[in-house]
Amino acid sequence: MKNEECIFCKITRKEIPSTIIFENDLNLAFLDIFPISKGHTIVIPKKHYITLEDITNYELNELYKTVKKIATMIHEKLDIDGYNILQNNFTAAGQVVKHFHVQIIPRNIDDDTFRVKIPRNQANKSELNTVLKKLEL
> Nearest CA to 28 among 75, 63, 71, 3?
63
Our measurement of the distance from residue 32's CA atom to the centroid of its chain's CA atoms, rounded to an integer in Å, reads: 11
Q: Which of 40, 48, 99, 101 is catalytic?
A: 101
Strand order of the sheet with strand 102-107?
20-23, 27-31, 41-45, 102-107, 82-86
Our measurement of the distance from residue 38's CA atom to the centroid of its chain's CA atoms, rounded to an integer in Å, reads: 16
Indicate if 101 belongs to the active site. Answer: yes
Could you list the active site residues? Answer: 101
